[in-house]
Amino acid sequence: MSEIVFIEQQIINAVRKLLAGKVNEKLNNWNFFFPLIEFSNYGGVSAIVPVISLSSCEQSEKERIIRQDAYTLAISFSVSETADSELSCYAYANAFGIALGDDVTLGGVADRAVITNKKYVPPKKPNCGMEWELVITLRVTVEGMSK
């Protein structure tokens, strides 16, 4: 029996591949240590495990007419508080932006993926061991999937 793969799974897997591949490659090319992105149960300081959440998004009338589905995807990074946490958040955001600019179709899975928001959240109390957070929001459109 063949395995069913939904478009939502394909989008999330494409984003994971982009993060673990191109984004890590960009981070490695910069002359500074940034914890690399990986997807596992790892909890140390030498790697970061972002959370990816996907939801449906409001469609414009044009998107409904041409049968184009739209999704909102949020990627959340929790960065351990260090002297370079803020810099790390900016690095992840910029590396992701560059990688997405090189592949706006997420490897052919989507018609277009665009960053709609970047949110940098410092700890509520500085120097108390809390984490910085970076949330990157994307709008992903896929043509021909509407019911």
Kindly report the pTM of this predicted structure. Answer: 0.87
What the chain holds in terms of domains, given with CATH numbers, is: 7-143 (3.30.70)
Q: Looking at residue 147, what is its pLDDT?
A: 47
pLDDT digits (tens, 9 = 90+) for 51-87: 999 987 777 777 667 778 889 999 999 998 888 899 9
Q: Return mean pLDDT, the chain.
A: 87
pLDDT of 9 > 70? The answer is yes
Rounded percentage of the chain residues whose pLDDT exceeds 90: 57
Q: Looking at residue 2, what is its pLDDT?
A: 57
Backbone φ and ψ of 84, nearest 5°: -110, 15
pLDDT digits (tens, 9 = 90+) for 100-131: 999 999 999 999 999 999 999 999 887 776 88
Would the CA dihedral through 68, 118, 34, 40 be positive or negative?
negative
Could you tell me if 73 and 116 are in contact, meaning their C-beta atoms sit under 8 angstroms apart? Answer: no
